[in-house]
Structure 1
Amino acid sequence: MISEQVWADAELIWEFHQMHHEPRPCSVAVGLGSHDLGVADTTVDLYQRGMAPLIVFTGATSPTTRARMPRGEAVHYRERALELGVPPEDVLVEPNARNTGENIRLTRALLKDAGRPIESVLLVSKPYEERRAYATARKLWPEVEVLSASTPMTFMEYVDCIGDPKRVIDMLVGALQRLLVYPEEGFMIEMRVPTSALDAYQRLCDRGFTSRLIAPSAS
């Protein structure tokens, strides 16, 4: 049984992870690969609303996506985009990235090699990865404007979608830890974390929501 305090702490961290940016037209929409095909759907929706003339999907596979997406996350995302009516020439694939930093670096290189000048990026991720993706892009792609986006949904809607409350809370806690640790590793810019979020994070760690924590030296 998950207590009311745990639910409240998790929802507070969920809200912090989202940047609440208002989408506006950018040079490219970049969908970050994951287990969640909703990222592809949201990227396509933004493209079809005129928020970007070009899509890049980036991502290889991971232990959590290998069975579901054997051809790679970015490839499956592209297939989904084509099903939804996006012209093939408007979807590029970066199939090698295995973490957020590689998503950004390899996408940047892909667009440079393609001769596509980029001034702004609409970065599409899972809802609880918005802030982490933004902080990573600002560090590794500093010359462009970065806007974060994700599928609009509440915390409880996401929990219902995943079907595993502990897994979701573990992911929220792990994403916040990375915001605390990765700036020191040079992987992202430092972002202020309010005391309320830090206190909620510590309470959740103390209650055992720690399966997604990493050692400070991990990449």
Structure 2
Amino acid sequence: MISTQDWADTQRLWDYHHMGHTPRPCSVAIGLGSHDLGVADAAVDLYKRGMAPLIVFTGATSPTTRERMPRGEAVHYRERAIELGVPASAVMVEPRARNTGENIRFSRDLLAEAGIEVSSVLLISKPYEERRGYATARKLWPEVEIVSASSPMTLQDYVDSIGDARMVIDMLVGALQRLLVYPEQGFMISQTVPAEVIASYERLCQGGFTSRLLQDDEGQALRGAH
């Protein structure tokens, strides 16, 4: 049973995970691979609005995408973009990345090898991964400006699209934990997490929304600096 308090806490995490950036024209758009084809749809929309002359889709496969996207996340994203009218010449594929850090590093290297100068990146992710993608890119590619973007959706819209409210809450909780833990591990920049967001996160953990939490060798959830 998901309580009214659970939903209020989830909404607070949802809001925090969004960077609140206004899309603007950038050197390139990078779509971060996942199970969600909405990332490709958002990239297409932004391309058609003139926000980037080139799209890079990045991502291999994972246990959650292997059956749905057997050719790899980036390849399926590219096929989706072309189906929606983006010229094939405007879409590059980075098919090896298996985590957000590799998404950023491999895309950066692909563009450098192609001789494409990049001063700004329109970084497109799932709605609740905006802040994680931003923090990772700022750590690994500090010399470029990062503008975060995702499909404009409410929390309820996203839950409806996934069809599993508990899974969505678990994912939001897991994403918040990584914002707390990963800076200490050198994977992303540290960001201020408001006390009320921490309180919501901890209540949701206590409520059992923990399937996406990282654990230590003793099976305890990792805790970062609050």
Assess same fold via TM > 0.5.
yes
Letter aligned with residue 65 of structure 1: T
Structure 2 counterparts to residues 168-207 of structure 1, below 5 A = 168-207=168-207
Query: Does structure 1 residue 156 correspond to structure 2 residue 156?
Result: yes
Aligned pair count reads 218
- Percent identity over the alignment? 72
Alignment of 1:19-34 (within 5 A): 19-34=19-34
Letter in 2 for 1:38: G
Residues 29 and 122, structure 1, Cα contact 8 Å, conserved in 2: yes
Letter of the 2:46 counterpart = L
Q: Does 1:77 align with 2:77?
A: yes
* Counterpart position of 2:40: 40
TM-score normalised to structure 1 length: 0.98
Structure 1 Cα separation of the partners of residues 75 and 169 of structure 2:
28
- Which letter does structure 1 place at the counterpart of 2:159? V
AA partner of residue 133 (structure 2) = A
Indicate yes or no: 2:99 matched with 1:109.
Answer: no
Map residues 121-136 of structure 1 onto 2, 5 A cutoff: 121-136=121-136
Opposite residue 69 of structure 1, the aligned amino acid is M
Larger CA deviation: 209-218 vs 110-119: 209-218
In 2: Cα distance, 1:90 partner to 1:3 partner: 46
1:215 deviation in Å?
2.8
1: distance between equivalents of 2:191 and 2:101? 16
- For 2:86 and 2:38, the matched residues in 1 are separated by 16
When the two chains are superposed, the root-mean-square deviation of aligned CA atoms in Å is 1.0
Counterparts of 1:186 and 1:74 in 2: how far apart (Å)? 26
Structure 1: 4+ residue segments shifted above 4 A:
none
Per-residue CA deviation, residues 74-108 of structure 1 (Å, 9 max, x unaligned), is 00000001101111111000000000000000000
In structure 1, stretches of 5+ residues that fail to align are none
1:193-217 Cα shifts (integer Å, max 9, x gaps): 0000000000000010000001369
Q: Which SS does the other structure have where 1:112 is aligned?
A: helix
3-state DSSP class of the match of 1:147? strand
Structure 1 residues 112, 65: CA separation in 2 closer, same or farther (over 3 Å shift)?
A: same
Q: CA deviation at 1:14?
A: 0.3
Give, in angstroms, the shift of residue 41 of structure 1: 0.4
In structure 2, how many angstroms separate the alpha carbons of the residues matched to 1:117 and 1:176? 33
How far, CA to CA, are the matches of 2:6 and 2:87 in structure 1?
45
Output one character per residue of 1:97-130: Cα deviation in whole Å (capped at 9) or x when no partner: 0000000000000000000000000000000000
Q: SS of the counterpart of 2:152?
A: coil
d(CA) in 2 for partners of 1:203 and 1:95?
38
Name the counterpart of 1:10: 10
Partner of 1:143: 143
What secondary structure sits across from 1:93 in the alignment? strand
If the length of structure 2 is used for normalisation, what is the TM-score?
A: 0.95
**Structure 2: runs of 5+ lacking an equivalent:** none
Contact in 2 for aligned 1:181/1:216 (Cα 8 Å): no
Match of 2:95 in 1: 95
Distance 1:171 1:6 in 2: 14
